[in-house]
Structure 1
Amino acid sequence: MGILATVVNVFVDEAGEHGNPLGIVWASTATRGHEQDIAADLGFSETVFIDEVDGRTVRARIFTPKQELRFAGHPTVGLAAWLRAAGDDIRHVAVPAGSARVRADGEFTWISADVDWAPEFELEQLDSPDEVDAVDPDAYTEGMHYVWAWLDEEAGKVRTRMFAPGLGIRTDEATGSAAIRLTAALGRDLQIEQGAGSRLVTHRRNLGREVEIGGRTTPGRDVELA
């Protein structure tokens, strides 16, 4: 029997479109020690492995196609949303960086995380959304880059794209950890449009030491790896 993964799209728009695919896998004897290979085979920007659900806490680990991460935004939001939709009253997602608080509000699932948990990105402001859209992902050969421009500065709306060849991610449809870093850098709540049309919302918390990030997540679909 192959390894079963569930795929959800995280940070979809109001119509349930776009969003960043996330692989969700229950850890088992078949997956332990092979997480990196499984994540590479799935090919998503991140795959999350569930080690345990203990009451209202889920313990998990996150892998890109190239390496394990201490924390990432779209896997924690997506995992919490998927488990809550299945009937688990998840209030915390515990990853190697720490335990992210979870809350639900209508269609949105939110997690709160320390800013320092998020990987550091090169935050590159451009003059217009059109310039953001015109960026060639292949212009980046290393590092992690979050390119952005104001859509409406007064309203806190921004247009973004992310490129992280160092993580094996040519371009990313929706990047929670980068949104956390941008929110902290700008010192304000944001409404973010990333990629082809994904939507992320952020709130500063705890005097800017934490950021809450939320969005919509689609129901899961199962795929089987040989």
Structure 2
Amino acid sequence: MIDHVVLRVFIGPDGRGGNPLGVVTDGTQVPGTDERQRLAAELGYSETVFVDDASRGAVDIYTPSARLPFAGHPLVGVSWLLGERGQRAEVLRPSAGDVPTWTDGDFTWIRGRAEWASGRRTQQYASAAEVDALPAPPPGEGWLYAWAWLDEAGGRVRARAFPRRGDNIVEDEATGAAAVVLTAELGRPLTIHQGAASQILTRPRGDGWIDVGGRAAMA
């Protein structure tokens, strides 16, 4: 097995939750896209990220069935991990483009754009209870981000994410890219409570940029 570490990203304030992330810290171990896709499928995490050059922030992201130009929880997670190892870059460079990254207390932040996360459809429900009652996955096709207000005035959201790609990921525990899309649609800062116990913070910055922050820890 290729050397890798596993993180939990977007953990809640009580330390629970978080979406598992596989990180291959030496991407030269797996040089080709086909080989990387096979390894991501074998590992089975919702995403696996390959660090090709820590000093430059060059990274490459895969689900079990597809390569992604941008994804929130892999970028927050790898930024946190590089920081823990004294290698944090100020910019990460997935294939979508340059992604600024920084820390604020125990939160690690990245900045991205909704168009980098195309194909993720949001759907508002009348209550958090309706979101909680959805089967995993709900009927239908295509990436679905189901959400409802917990506190509209306070910007608190309940959300669940269903990739519906046909691979083994039935539900994503926490998804930064979908949070970017929702924040761009609503045009306001959000505190998103997703999955079983995860927390995602977002802030629109203007000109289409969205900040996404969360906590991470070793799995």
Deviation (angstroms), 1:140: 3.5
Structure 2, unpaired ranges of 5+: none
Aligned pairs (5 A) from 1:157-172: 157-166=156-165, 168=167, 169-172=169-172
**What amino acid sits opposite 2:157 in the alignment?**
V
Show CA shifts across 1:74-128 (max 9, x none): 0000000010011113211100000100010110000011221113322110000
Displacement of 1:192: 0.2
Contact 1:140 1:163 in 2 (8 A): no
Q: Counterpart in 1 of 2:137?
A: 138
Secondary structure of the equivalent of 2:174?
coil
What CA distance in whole angstroms lies between the structure 1 residues aligned with 2:204 and 2:139? 30
CA 1:199/1:6 → structure 2, altered by over 3 Å: closer, same or farther? same
Which moved further from structure 2: 63-72 or 32-41? 32-41
- Once residues 78 and 172 of structure 1 are traced to their aligned partners in structure 2, the CA distance between those partners, rounded to angstroms, is 15
| C-alpha separation in 2, matches of 1:171 and 1:20 | 10
Greater strand fraction, Structure 1 or Structure 2: 1
**C-alpha deviation, 1:29, in angstroms:** 4.3
What's 2:153 paired with?
154
TM-score normalized with structure 1 length: 0.91
Q: How many pairs align? A: 216
Tell me how far apart the structure 2 counterparts of residues 47 and 89 of structure 1 sit (CA, whole Å). 18
Give the corresponding residue for 1:34: 35
How far the C-alpha of 1:30 sits from its partner, in A, is 4.4
> Which amino acid is the alignment partner of residue 117 of structure 2?
A
3-state secondary structure, aligned to 1:19: strand
Whole-angstrom CA distance in 1 between matches of 2:7 and 2:77: 7
Give the unaligned 5+ runs of structure 1.
222-226
State the SS of the aligned residue for 2:193. strand
Quick check: 1:181 aligned with 2:172? no
Work out whether residues 69 and 96 of structure 2, in 8 Å CA contact, stay in contact via their aligned partners in 1: yes
Q: Percent of counterpart pairs with the same letter?
A: 42
Deviations 1:4-52, CA, capped at 9 Å, x for gaps: 1100000001122110000001212445341111111111110001111
Query: Which segments of structure 1 move beyond 4 Å, counting only runs of 4 or more?
Result: none
How far off its partner does 1:201 sit?
Answer: 0.1
RMSD over equivalenced CA pairs, Å: 1.4
Confirm or deny that 1:93 pairs with 2:92: yes
Q: Distance in 2 between matches of 1:89 and 1:51?
A: 14
Contact 1:22 1:46 in 2 (8 A): yes
